[in-house]
Structure 1
């Protein structure tokens, strides 16, 4: 009888724990959190966060973004001068390069991503941060596909939670994909919106991502929605796969314009990142 009661209690506890779970983690990629089907209709639960309270970046969650050939990453650097941890904040910097003998680039920038360490499919992300402003400054918070379900960029899509240019009083919130870039269908449906901000203050930037829409948000309020429209080309919605996070202080490029070196350094302060499913 006691053994029977033990098994009943065991299976009851297991059933309860299973019901509390909100995600599946892929066996081949245990850092990927796939939201359970139907969770979008229920209350959000926190699954991952970072408050940057240590003395160094948590390398189990983040890596520094390496340099590349695109406008957004051509100045990315591993240099410690581009990063700081102070008072529970991660500081990402855009600076003038003071040593051209080691690196010929005029500017260096700091950025982090969760590629290979954390990714999720559907859910809500919030990032509390304060932006710095300068001519040529381009701080961004965005997402790219972790597993490349549809092929090379832009076929997997891109979700830009927030981009800020120069001294603007607005942010841009955007989706990019093969559908919007290569096919040029940016208005069916509209793929981008803007929202007014005080960049010098802390704001909470985020999205709520569902199987049929991405709702962009600012300080908890909805600002712009990109819907899935099944009647359109399949390339319109590549957002049915896990994405990882990028947060970076970019400098220069065709969109933001030339950098005024006299206005540097510029800094983006990240207070915390939270992800829910």
Structure 2
């Protein structure tokens, strides 16, 4: 998918309507952390916490959950996999809602004394839900894990349906050591939003196509519930008001390690609205694993349901960790899946280009004007309905010889550059360019570590060309005219169905991410 985040905390901190009772925090044996918040007539209680890390204001925290119902006289939540040692500090804040009145208890710290350890509770822990800044106007839709495909291991390529997690940690290191192959080295089923792995990009610059969204770290736009990761676009005016679009300044510079602008290019950290030129009218989410998980070669499988709604642009893709061969696209890009959310969007000949259509692509070349994406590209239609109706599997097998792309275990694209590598494969041997991959392996630039990205972009230029046909109404903007796009919101916004199922039909929904190492 080439191609005002400095929110003043004072605006986010709600006035204290009533005090939230002090929680009972109990470490469990052998691991786990139990939270009990005495009930005081609440409709919902949310917990944000980190271990031995400051949690100022209303930052998301390492763990963040809504507790949607109480057990007996308390709201109870058990976080699995947490191990505390004497002296460890739990930094936390609480949010509670009662009769439509919210309250927060911020900047709290609890220190583990090494006592009061219990055995694990026998009842099932409460399923995580998204944390909201304000009360929802209706009950959120239920999306149990069983709505997704039950097959959790890939069946394409090598037969690894029954492979278990056979990687073990090194001493004093979290890196896996494989004892047999195929070897599952990464598995996120989104029981929580793991912010050590998934970093939010914060930028208005998008991917270089002057899209209409800005990316932010906001639980309105990115959250986990019932084992599903949601990336959901919303209107900027929902957060800041309509007047802000033409008169406000969107400032994303930030101040801390997790709220600092991640992309200054294309005026990504600051935009000023003026009459006739609105700031980015959509806010959305983009997550990347570059801080938490990078790998070279293996099998990737991601099960996801794509967003439905006009001009939505979801992507599941990978970028190089270090740009070893230079700037884009000299160091490569791997697009596992890209699609468009429009329901009735076609080429002039009738070929679908909307949500019932997807593509896989690689990008490579000596500079951005000579990208030979056409040498590694395939497209497919959904066999039944659309990719927004149900979960589908998007896969990549990648080694020192080639790349293979899969849709629901079906091979749709193989890219093998041959022994002469991508320089000759792209036809650059007949040009005057210097070869950035000279002396490297045949797979260069795809012989380095990459990381995984999820995002939902909106509109912009290039990816929604003017010659494609939107049956319901003509494309309402030219080039990157965000104002024309915004002025046509009565046409496209209803297709996002914002009042149905909490607007989640317009969200990219990810059920799991798995990565295997296929050989030593």
TM superposition score category, shorter chain reference: 0.7 to 0.9
Richer in strand (by share): 1
2:357 match: 170
1:129 match: 304
- Quickly say closer, same or farther: Cα 1:180–1:262, change in 2 above 3 A: farther
- Quickly say closer, same or farther: Cα 1:267–1:185, change in 2 above 3 A: closer
Which one of the candidate residues 288, 295, 306 is aligned to 1:113?
288
Greater relative CO (CA pairs within 8 A, separation 6+) = 1
CA separation in 2, counterparts of 1:32 and 1:177?
29
1:79 match: 218
Whether the 8 Å CA contact 2:212–2:280 is kept in 1: the answer is no
- Quickly say closer, same or farther: Cα 1:158–1:62, change in 2 above 3 A: same
Q: Tell me, which stretches of 5 or more residues in structure 2 are unaligned?
A: 1-165, 251-278, 343-353, 424-434, 438-442, 465-476, 478-484, 486-491, 499-505
- Quickly say closer, same or farther: Cα 1:85–1:184, change in 2 above 3 A: closer
Q: What is the TM-score normalised by the length of structure 2?
A: 0.43
Whether the 8 Å CA contact 2:328–2:367 is kept in 1: the answer is no
| Per-residue deviation, 1:212 | 1.4
Q: Tell me, which stretches of 5 or more residues in structure 1 are unaligned?
A: 1-19, 25-29
2:417 match: 228
RMSD across aligned positions (CA): 3.0
Q: 84-93 or 64-73, which moves further after superposition? A: 64-73
Secondary structure of 1:129's aligned partner: strand
| Per-residue deviation, 1:150 | 0.8
Q: What is the TM-score normalised by the length of structure 1?
A: 0.78
Whether the 8 Å CA contact 2:334–2:362 is kept in 1: the answer is yes
- Quickly say closer, same or farther: Cα 1:31–1:109, change in 2 above 3 A: farther
Quick check: which has more Rg, 1 or 2?
A: 2
Q: Deviations over 1:51-81 (max 9, x none)?
A: 1113xx1112111122142236952122321
Stretches (4+) displaced over 6 A: 20-24, 30-33
How many pairs align? Answer: 245
CA separation in 1, counterparts of 2:372 and 2:306?
31
Secondary structure of 2:194's aligned partner: coil
Secondary structure of 2:220's aligned partner: helix
CA separation in 1, counterparts of 2:328 and 2:212?
15
- Quickly say closer, same or farther: Cα 1:261–1:160, change in 2 above 3 A: same
CA separation in 2, counterparts of 1:128 and 1:73?
27
Whether the 8 Å CA contact 2:212–2:460 is kept in 1: the answer is no
Aligned runs of 1:1-277 on 2, under 5 Å? 43-54=181-192, 57-69=193-205, 70-71=208-209, 75-97=214-236, 98=238, 99-100=240-241, 101=244, 103=250, 104-167=279-342, 168=354, 169-178=356-365, 181-187=368-374, 190-197=375-382, 198-199=386-387, 200-232=389-421, 233=423, 235=437, 237-257=444-464, 260-264=492-496, 265=498, 266-277=506-517
- Quickly say closer, same or farther: Cα 1:147–1:109, change in 2 above 3 A: same
Secondary structure of 1:274's aligned partner: strand
